Chain A
Amino acid sequence: MTRWGMVIDLEKCVGCDTCSAACSQMNHVPAGAGWRQVIPLDMPKLGNPQNGRLFLPTNCMHCSDAPCQTVCPTTATFRHADGIVDIHDELCIGCGYCVVACPYLARTITRFDEVYAFTPELLTTASDRSGICTKCNFCLPRVEAGLAQGLTPGVDAAASPNCVNFCIADAIHFGDLHDPASNISRMIQEKPTMRLQEELGTDPAIQYVMRPDYTGMNGTAVELVPPRKQKVWHKPAAFNFILGGTGAAVYLLGLWLDWLGVPVTEWYKLLGPVLVGLGLLGLTLEAGRPFRSIHILRGWRHSWMSREAWAAVLFMPLAFAEWIWPHAALALLAGLAALAFLISQGFIVYRSRAVTAWNKPVVLWIMVAASFVSGAGFFLLAAALFNQTVIPYLAVAGLVSVLVQGGLWLVYLRGSGDKAFGLGTAVLRKRRSLLVTVGLGVVVPLILLTGILLVDLPPLLLGVTAVFGGGAVLLGSAGLKAQLILQAGYLRGIQAGPVQT
């Protein structure tokens, strides 16, 4: 079976960027969403003995274990039998999950207002791609048309990708990786080559010719491109994690109180789903094509974002139904959906493989714990105003979740990782950040909530303490999530794998 791939000769590329110009024009790529990059490499580290500079041309690596494909909630990203990773444009909603999952900086969400083009025809293609993810497809239509004419891709120009044809340095080669006699297979056999991010096990289809004698290249991975901050998930994403997480946790805490037999008003049964719904509504602001959001339900087999959506669409009507027709079975189902929602949220962040500060198992549990913290905080605020009898129970829930969250957070911040992890968590380790996540989120509630439990407070003081305690808990955990999403998101640097000679 064919597997299309490339060999890019770093000894030859002169950084002229003609490949990118050819690619963007001939594939009608919207401005600002180029499929290719030619990245000048940090030379002091990689001294080319000949005083030349090295340039790293990158595009989609068409991985056989593609991180973008497994996270895609809509199944828009798929893999052809010949190995080419492609996008069903009409399914993509532009959620940006693949962008934070791809460790090769290969994907872009096109911004609508950037779409202009040379001609109306190009504009049509470009605007069809507006708001969605776009990336290299190895010029698949060209390759297929060439094959139909009996041509050999990589050998005959008419069947080869545009970047290959227009490379002035003869640095880019295309062919079948699975055919040992193909042009590129022979190159790989004859020349020292390496792949990018080899240690991630994505099995990329692009091999780079690179001499092993560059400083530090002997068998070890070397960073070629430094980390950069992710630019696809903004406030709406953080808003969804905070609001949705709070809503689901409020509902679960309400169920718990009910189960304990504590007289709790039933508003939580509505508030939970409403908060979750608001969070999702906010999230649609992030998607480039929110009105196709229904496609998000298609990718449940592998995408946690899709599972989150399923959990939400099950949870909301179940909780609502249980409010109208109270029944233990319905409550149990709604509770399970809420829990699935919380865990999915944790997994969404954790499975962003390109963002190393998120791609840690502990982050999953931090997200879940933080949701319970904010749920308890929210509940405490409401209880202080409407129903003080539940305050002690919530104080216990708050204390436990705050301690768990705080403990996990400290474990997380003391953890080690790559440069992107360091950059991301450096922000979180700053005093101002710790003041929110630990001070407001742990120390203040620890004092106030313990006070509630140990000291017999008069009703007014109890209410005030609960308000402050609940507020601190809520703000602390919301601040934690917001900082994690908005400030710690550095896309991992691109590493050259060990050179195979």
Chain B
Amino acid sequence: MILDARSLPAKEIIETDICIVGAGTAGITLARELIGQDFKVCLLESGGRETDQATQALYQGKNIGLPYYELDTARARYYGGSSNRWHVDLGDDRFGLRLRPFDEIDFEYRDWVPHSGWPFAKAHLDPYYDRAQEICQITPLTFDAEAWADPETRPLLPLPQDIVQTIIYKFGWRGPFIHQYTRETEQADNITTILYANVLEIETDDLAQNVTGLKVATIEGNRFQIAAKLYVLANGGIEIPRLMLLSNKVQMVGLGNQHDLVGRFFMEHSHFWSGTFVPADATLPRRMALYNRINRVNKVPVMGKLALNQEVIRREKLLNQNVQLMPKVVSRAIEFPDVPVNGVQSSLVNIYRKGRRVLENKVMVRSGVDVYVFANMSEQLPNPDSRVVLGGEKDIFDQNCSQLDWQVTELDIWSVRRTQEIIGEALAQAGLGQVIVKLKNNKPPRNLHGGYHHMGTTRMHTNPKEGVVDANGRVHSIANLYIAGPSVFPTGGYANPVLTLVALTVRLADHLKIVLAQGVV
């Protein structure tokens, strides 16, 4: 069933068993997992079936840290959420996004990464990853590079596996989330989706140990309450901490924020282009099909990228990284000579090179692939100073807007540099070519940008002093409030968050079924 909050009777209290806030990737996945259960689910969505500016404007906020997308343009606030704007061109007029599970090392406690460590190992999540792949429609399940490569048409690069490996990304289409699954949840008897319903506040009992209800309003002014047994926040890595910080009637510092963790540890994946791989052999680009295009294998779009062997990461104490190889036309001989030139001659040689470069660029314009630029996508150090806070400006509901203070640490950038060096050594060792590391210091490069991945702001940890939610995704100290989505990731790995968030959401769905069955609440 689907309702429009604008036409609900005012001041009504809607009773349900599970209330999910946000009908985006996580919320829809969760609701769909709960189809056919013998309890009622209410899925609240701030927007409608289509976008509208007034609703989208509720995202308005300020960036006070590193340059970032304007907050009201970084998410889609309507039915289907940001899956509506997944936009990697998969061909046939289909758009989607990259999907890959996190690596084992991402779940581990690493002594060189403060605040690292998930409450469980990857093996625990694997069955959920399998289900997540089915939901994202990217089966067969394997992510083994061998399985997706083909010696003839898309061979694996002969890399020293103990140093550098080919990792596989699959690409999932947005269609299931924005068409099929929304339709399925609408048709389900036990699920009520309410559009245009904005949650203004999470209300609790006097000790802030139980959520008693949600205060909901429409922009037009209709107000009502939701009373559920369990509540799940699935409204994104910036809006979840905002809503919790705004819900400060009982807990003055913000709901669940007794240890000042809500909104902290905001992590993106640092994206930027830097570093160049110069193949030793001009025919190599012909053998790079796996790496420099989206290959359709068994109907699944896949692409290979490079990442370090996890042992190397442990030994070198790095953050987890991967690089995509982006073809670039440039004169190999001119820009990347085998012998570097120093001293007095260098300026003359540089003038010569520059001249030849201008000449080659402008005269001998070529279209073959010469070199590859590294498109880096990197894990960020969990950093409490990188955070979402409430700002002074107010939205149309008179609620404080968010401020995002995105920070990238020196270790983040150093890790990219060191990773490029190691990849370079490995490629050289394999006789494939050389890598020119262009980063000269550990400052965030100018072309640094995010991938719309908002992670870590309500992080998961078994210790309430280290995390906002427990291993099940339940907010510590609150019996019936859960969080779904990438904001619970304690560390962000390098992989795009969707597959992991879907896996965690499926896991949460299983847990909620048990909780309700046991009647613990």
Any B CB within 8 A of the CB of A18: yes
Q: Bound state CA distance, A255 and B56, in angstroms?
A: 70
Nearest CB of B to A163, in Å: 12
Partner of A113 from the list B50, B95, B293, B361 (CB cut-off 8 Å) is B361
Q: Bound state CA distance, A169 and B76, in angstroms?
A: 10
Partner of B54 from the list A25, A51, A170 (CB cut-off 8 Å) is A51
Any B CB within 8 A of the CB of A149: no
Contact in complex: A112, B292 (CB < 8 Å): no
Any B CB within 8 A of the CB of A381: no
Any B CB within 8 A of the CB of A33: no
Contact in complex: B362, A169 (CB < 8 Å): no
Question: What are the interface flags for A280-322 relative to B under an 8 Å C-beta threshold, 1 for contact and 0 otherwise?
Answer: 0000010111110000000000000000000000000000000
Any B CB within 8 A of the CB of A328: no
Contact in complex: B362, A116 (CB < 8 Å): no
Q: Bound state CA distance, A165 and B87, in angstroms?
A: 12
Any B CB within 8 A of the CB of A141: no
Q: Which chain B residues lie closer than 8 Å to A52 at the CB level?
A: 52-54, 56-57
Contact in complex: A16, B76 (CB < 8 Å): yes
Quick one: given A16-B76, A131-B362, are A119 and B292 in contact (CB under 8 Å)? yes
Contact in complex: A115, B326 (CB < 8 Å): no
Within 8 A of A (CB), among B338-397: 358, 361-363, 365-369, 373, 395-396
Pick from B70, B362, B373 the residue with the most CB of A within 10 Å. B362
Contact in complex: B328, A123 (CB < 8 Å): yes
Partner of B53 from the list A17, A53, A115, A165 (CB cut-off 8 Å) is A53
Q: Which chain B residues lie closer than 8 Å to A65 at the CB level?
A: none
Nearest CB of A to B258, in Å: 33
Nearest opposing residue in chain A for B286, CB measure: A120
Contact in complex: B326, A117 (CB < 8 Å): yes
Quick one: given A18-B87, A116-B373, A118-B326, are A127 and B367 in contact (CB under 8 Å)? yes
Quick one: given A16-B73, A117-B326, are A131 and B365 in contact (CB under 8 Å)? yes
Contact in complex: B85, A18 (CB < 8 Å): yes
Contact in complex: A116, B51 (CB < 8 Å): no
Contact in complex: A116, B285 (CB < 8 Å): no
Any B CB within 8 A of the CB of A40: yes
Nearest opposing residue in chain B for A15, CB measure: B73
Nearest opposing residue in chain A for B53, CB measure: A52
Quick one: given A21-B87, A120-B327, A127-B366, are A14 and B51 in contact (CB under 8 Å)? yes
Question: What are the interface flags for A345-377 relative to B under an 8 Å C-beta threshold, 1 for contact and 0 otherwise?
Answer: 000000000000000000000000000000000
Q: Bound state CA distance, A157 and B54, in angstroms?
A: 28
Nearest CB of A to B68, in Å: 13
Q: Which chain A residues lie closer than 8 Å to B326 at the CB level?
A: 116-118
Q: Bound state CA distance, A131 and B326, in angstroms?
A: 20
Any A CB within 8 A of the CB of B211: no
Nearest CB of B to A96, in Å: 14
Quick one: given A14-B76, A53-B72, A127-B329, are A120 and B361 in contact (CB under 8 Å)? no
Question: What are the interface flags for B53-75 relative to A under an 8 Å C-beta threshold, 1 for contact and 0 otherwise?
Answer: 11011001000000000101100
Q: Which chain A residues lie closer than 8 Å to B293 at the CB level?
A: 118-121
Any B CB within 8 A of the CB of A393: no
Q: Which chain A residues lie closer than 8 Å to B57 at the CB level?
A: 48, 50-53
Q: Bound state CA distance, A15 and B53, in angstroms?
A: 9
Q: Which chain B residues lie closer than 8 Å to A170 at the CB level?
A: 50-51
Within 8 A of B (CB), among A111-138: 112-113, 115-121, 123-124, 127-128, 130-131
Contact in complex: B72, A123 (CB < 8 Å): no
Nearest opposing residue in chain A for B74, CB measure: A16
Q: Which chain B residues lie closer than 8 Å to A333 at the CB level?
A: none
Contact in complex: A115, B329 (CB < 8 Å): yes
Nearest opposing residue in chain B for A19, CB measure: B87
Q: Bound state CA distance, A290 and B360, in angstroms?
A: 12
Within 8 A of A (CB), among B36-60: 50-54, 56-57, 60
Within 8 A of B (CB), among A37-69: 38, 40, 48, 50-55
Any B CB within 8 A of the CB of A78: no
Any B CB within 8 A of the CB of A3: no
Contact in complex: A115, B328 (CB < 8 Å): yes
Q: Which chain B residues lie closer than 8 Å to A25 at the CB level?
A: 87-89
Nearest CB of A to B294, in Å: 8
Q: Which chain A residues lie closer than 8 Å to B368 at the CB level?
A: 120
Any A CB within 8 A of the CB of B273: yes
Q: Which chain B residues lie closer than 8 Å to A169 at the CB level?
A: 50-51
Q: Which chain A residues lie closer than 8 Å to B362 at the CB level?
A: 112, 131, 287-291
Contact in complex: B53, A11 (CB < 8 Å): yes
Nearest opposing residue in chain A for B58, CB measure: A51
Nearest CB of B to A263, in Å: 44
Within 8 A of B (CB), among A64-104: none
Nearest opposing residue in chain A for B288, CB measure: A120
Pick from A38, A52, A115 the residue with the most CB of B within 10 Å. A52
Contact in complex: A120, B95 (CB < 8 Å): no
Pick from B50, B93, B293 the residue with the most CB of A within 10 Å. B93
Any B CB within 8 A of the CB of A191: no
Q: Bound state CA distance, A33 and B8, in angstroms?
A: 48
Partner of A166 from the list B95, B294, B361 (CB cut-off 8 Å) is B95
Nearest opposing residue in chain A for B335, CB measure: A113
Any A CB within 8 A of the CB of B247: no
Nearest CB of A to B351, in Å: 15
Contact in complex: B367, A15 (CB < 8 Å): no
Nearest opposing residue in chain B for A31, CB measure: B273
Q: Bound state CA distance, A22 and B96, in angstroms?
A: 11
Q: Bound state CA distance, A123 and B371, in angstroms?
A: 11
Any A CB within 8 A of the CB of B190: no
Q: Which chain B residues lie closer than 8 Å to A257 at the CB level?
A: none
Contact in complex: B396, A123 (CB < 8 Å): no
Within 8 A of A (CB), among B61-108: 70, 72-73, 76, 84-85, 87-89, 93, 95
Q: Bound state CA distance, A113 and B366, in angstroms?
A: 12
Nearest opposing residue in chain B for A20, CB measure: B87
Q: Which chain B residues lie closer than 8 Å to A131 at the CB level?
A: 361-362, 365
Any B CB within 8 A of the CB of A229: no
Nearest CB of A to B285, in Å: 6
Q: Bound state CA distance, A127 and B53, in angstroms?
A: 38
Q: Which chain B residues lie closer than 8 Å to A289 at the CB level?
A: 362, 365
Contact in complex: A22, B95 (CB < 8 Å): yes
Nearest opposing residue in chain A for B178, CB measure: A168
Contact in complex: B85, A165 (CB < 8 Å): no
Any B CB within 8 A of the CB of A26: yes
Nearest CB of B to A146, in Å: 12
Q: Which chain B residues lie closer than 8 Å to A54 at the CB level?
A: 53
Nearest opposing residue in chain B for A168, CB measure: B84
Q: Bound state CA distance, A46 and B443, in angstroms?
A: 38
Any B CB within 8 A of the CB of A234: no
Q: Bound state CA distance, A51 and B397, in angstroms?
A: 11
Any B CB within 8 A of the CB of A12: yes
Q: Bound state CA distance, A25 and B361, in angstroms?
A: 23
Contact in complex: A127, B84 (CB < 8 Å): no
Question: What are the interface flags for B306-346 relative to A under an 8 Å C-beta threshold, 1 for contact and 0 otherwise?
Answer: 00000000000000000000111110000000000000000
Nearest opposing residue in chain A for B397, CB measure: A51
Q: Bound state CA distance, A131 and B358, in angstroms?
A: 11
Nearest CB of B to A189, in Å: 22
Within 8 A of B (CB), among A213-233: none
Quick one: given A51-B54, A53-B53, are A14 and B73 in contact (CB under 8 Å)? yes
Nearest CB of A to B62, in Å: 13
Question: What are the interface flags for B275-304 relative to A under an 8 Å C-beta threshold, 1 for contact and 0 otherwise?
Answer: 000000000010000001110000000000
Q: 3 shortest A-B CB distances, which residue pairs?
A: A52-B53, A116-B328, A50-B54
A131-B361, A168-B84, A289-B365 given; 19 more Cβ-contact pairs under 8 Å: A14-B53, A14-B72, A15-B73, A16-B73, A22-B89, A25-B88, A51-B57, A55-B73, A112-B361, A112-B365, A113-B330, A115-B329, A116-B327, A116-B328, A116-B329, A119-B293, A123-B329, A166-B95, A288-B362
- Listed A/B pairs (16) with beta-carbon separation below 8 Å: A11-B53, A16-B76, A22-B95, A38-B73, A50-B219, A52-B52, A52-B57, A53-B60, A118-B292, A127-B366, A128-B367, A131-B362, A168-B51, A170-B50, A289-B365, A290-B363
